[in-house]
Structure 1
Amino acid sequence: MSHLIKIFPADISFSGESEKTLLDAALDAGIHLEHSCKNGSCGVCEAQLLSGEVRDAQESLITAGNNILTCSCHPVGDVSLQATYYPELAGQMKKITPCKVVSAEYVSADVLKLILRFPPTAQINYLPGQYINLQYQGVTRSYSVANADEKQGIELHIRNVPGGQMSQLVFGGLAANTLMRIEGPCGTFFIRKNDRPVIFIAGGTGFAPVKAMVESLLAEQTQRDIYIYWGMQQEEHFYSSLPQQWSSQYTHIRFIPVVSSDQGEWQGRRGFVHNAVVEDFDNLEDFDVYACGSPVMIEASRKDLMTLGLPAKHFYSDAFTVSK
């Protein structure tokens, strides 16, 4: 049975069924509500249920006045939500596209840079910062796109997850021209158009979408101040020299690498990566912050940076959840 789902304050509506989550119904209708992981881990898709009833992943009935996760709740009848909607993504439809491996390069001991190419007529039409679902030999995993221009194909940064199904498939040898598929574009992580200075906070391979977004800003010849905070456990884990090159070439870009381990001979910043931001700024009222990494890092960043005056609506995040 079809139900009417209304979104406020955008005042838009679409149809949904009890078998589909509210988020999936919205995306199928080409309506992009805020989301990231889609499995209930990150909390980015939280919305307020204004009217009607929904059932969550545990089949519990939730009534109006409560906050819900659109990625895991199904409508019981007609409902209305207060949720963030992105007109910038209007018309962007997720689709499955075949692709082939151009190269698979080990850029560190546990990170693979994978370059994929597509048929000449294929267009992904992603925004830098979004992610795709990589499909290979029956396994599907989500990875952020690490380059801004799809004419160059798609670049992915894949971390070797011990015991991970996709890791076991791609680490150890991927031949050129190996056939894969991607599904996308996905997510609502992208650069908002304004003149506010930007702080990027990346943990591990969370650098991938940051790389794509910085590339897009440079292509636009932006003069916005850009701060890149990249956290790794050890110095040798930093797998790209691009942030340092950018900071050397452009006066409006600053790169701050942060190592979390207290071992080794690292002479730079140590600790949790978001704490370096807290140490460097007294007031973040005029900034945009884009954080990408583990849900724990993102939640800590959100909480601590808002104490420095960062408006909640100017904190954007993409949570990386680990799948085996």
Structure 2
Amino acid sequence: MTYQIALNFEDGVTRIIDCGEDELVMDAAFRQKINIPMDCRDGVCGTCKCHCEKGDYELDFYLDEAMTEEEAEEKYVLTCQMTPQSDCVLSVPVSSAVCKTGAETVKGEVIAVDALSATSFGLRVKLAKPIPFLPGQYVNIDVPGTGRHRSYSFSSAPGSDEASFLIRNLPGGVMSTWLGETAKPGDAVELTGPMGAFYLRPIERPQAWLAGGTGLAPFLAMLEKVAADGTDHPIRLFYAVTRAADLVELERLRALAEKIESLTLVTILAAEDEAHERKGFVTDHLEPDDFNGGDADVYLCGPPPMVEAVRSHMAALGVAPASFHFEKFNPTETPAVAA
């Protein structure tokens, strides 16, 4: 049996490698031309120590000087002594360049550009080969003819040779101009990644997911993963936009909700002149119960003011969630910031 091991480097690059059930993770990485730092290969030096964020594994011999018992209990591992028993996610405490690797560039071809609303496009791309990624991560997409690129989260499930993206229509923006005026099926594009620290962790408690506008994209990829894997934990997805016309992908969300019985979708409109069950900002509709007394994971993808408003709102409620993962995207098309 072969497992997938996601190596998340300090510079935000992720590389996903194949590792046999009887193969050491370090050997698998070397086989795929990724040089995880090491000095001994014998569990003695601790140079190859990483943190396992997800997955099951076995560890062979190591000295306390290389890794303490407390670190082992916190799921630190020595990759030279680690054999996987499931797919795993490892945080590697160095940059991808140190490991003589980097983000991979994959060629693609436009399948379709859909004007989903006045404020958003849907882009579908046929990939020369699948891009392995963690649900929630992004790639850089080169904008043909400009010498520039923009960063977008996958809205599609991992593992497919087709990728989809939900892209804000920013008037005058490099990507928006290309999508609205020039792009057509068959156009060649290049995608580089995956990257980003905003991705779905193991679901072990109730979830509160907050999407602002096209910040819905990574949650669509996450939901595809949950629909495939299943969960009994409740997921409340708050989807906040300005106007009703900006509520895109609702049909897909409802189809996913039929597969995920624990999923609740909450939509919110900011425009005062439109009729809707919930009006205002997402913070107007977040109560302490939505955070399960703090025993909840919070994921948020939206513009910086939304991230800061939610952070302040949780503090005002006296809520400290078990984990808080966020990604800010900026209208100036600068790269997103994730945590």
Mark yes or no: TM-score above 0.5. yes
Rounded to whole Å, the distance in 1 between the matches of 2:13 and 2:158 is 24
Instruction: Find the partner of 2:236 among 227, 232, 236.
Output: 227
Aligned counterparts of 1:192 and 1:307: Cα–Cα separation in 2: 26
Question: Deviation at 1:302?
Answer: 1.8
Shift of the alpha carbon at 1:270?
A: 0.7
**Cα shift readout 1:6-33 (whole Å, capped 9, x = no counterpart):** xxxxxxxx9xxxxxxxx64x85999xxx
State the Cα RMSD in Å.
Answer: 2.8
Question: Which residue pairs with 1:134 in the alignment?
Answer: 141
Figure out how many residues of one structure are paired with residues of the other and give that number: 245
Q: Per the alignment, in what secondary structure is the counterpart of residue 106 of structure 1?
A: strand
For residues 110 and 102 of structure 1, the distance between their equivalents in structure 2, rounded to whole angstroms, comes to 20
Aligned to 2:195: 186
Percent of residue pairs bearing the same amino acid type? 28
Q: 1:263 to 1:243 in 2, by over 3 A?
A: same
Q: Which piece of structure 1 moves more, 103-112 or 299-308?
A: 299-308
**Whole-Å separation in 1 of the counterparts to 2:321 and 2:138:** 23
Q: Quick one: distance in 2 between partners of 1:255 and 1:28?
A: 30
SS at match of 1:141: strand
Instruction: Measure, in 1, the Cα distance between the counterparts of 2:215 and 2:316.
Output: 23
1:158–1:229 CA distance, 2 compared to 1 (3 A) = same
Q: Which one of the candidate residues 87, 90, 97 is aligned to 1:88?
A: 90
Read off the aligned partner of 2:267 and give its amino acid letter.
Answer: P
The superposition leaves residues 190-226 of structure 1 with CA deviations (integer Å, 9 ceiling, x where unpaired) of: 1111421111100000000011101111110111211
Give unpaired runs (5+ residues) of structure 2: 1-8, 17-75, 77-87, 334-339
> In the aligned structure 2, how far is the partner of 1:307 from the partner of 1:287?
17
Tell me the secondary structure at the aligned position of residue 271 of structure 2: coil
State the 1:240 CA deviation: 1.3
Distance across 1 between alignment mates of 2:288 and 2:228? 30
Aligned partner of residue 281 in structure 1, secondary structure: helix
- Contact 1:100–1:118 under 8 Å retained in 2: yes
Cα distance in 2 for residues equivalent to 1:309 and 1:127: 31
Aligned to 1:258: 268
Unaligned segments of structure 1, at least 5 residues: 1-13, 15-22, 31-84
Deviation at 1:261, TM superposition (A): 1.3
Counterparts of 1:313 and 1:139 in 2: how far apart (Å)? 38
Give me the whole-angstrom Cα distance separating, in 2, the residues matched to 1:93 and 1:309. 41
Mark the CA change 1:277 to 1:88 in structure 2 (over 3 Å): closer, same or farther: farther
User: Against the structure 1 CA distance between its residues 283 and 162, is the aligned structure 2 distance closer, same or farther, given a 3 Å change threshold?
Assistant: same
Partner of residue 157, structure 1? 166
1:315–1:129 Cα change, 3 Å: same
Aligned-pair distance for 1:182? 0.8
Task: Give the Cα–Cα distance (whole angstroms) in 2 for the partners of residues 155 and 163 of structure 1.
Answer: 22
Residue 258 to residue 131, structure 1, CA distance change in 2 (3 Å): same
Instruction: Work out whether residues 146 and 210 of structure 1, in 8 Å CA contact, stay in contact via their aligned partners in 2.
Output: yes
Match of 1:199 among 208, 216, 222: 208
The answer to whether the 8 A contact 1:133-1:182 is kept is: yes
| Structure-1-length-normalised TM-score | 0.68
Q: Letter of the 1:88 partner, please give it.
A: L
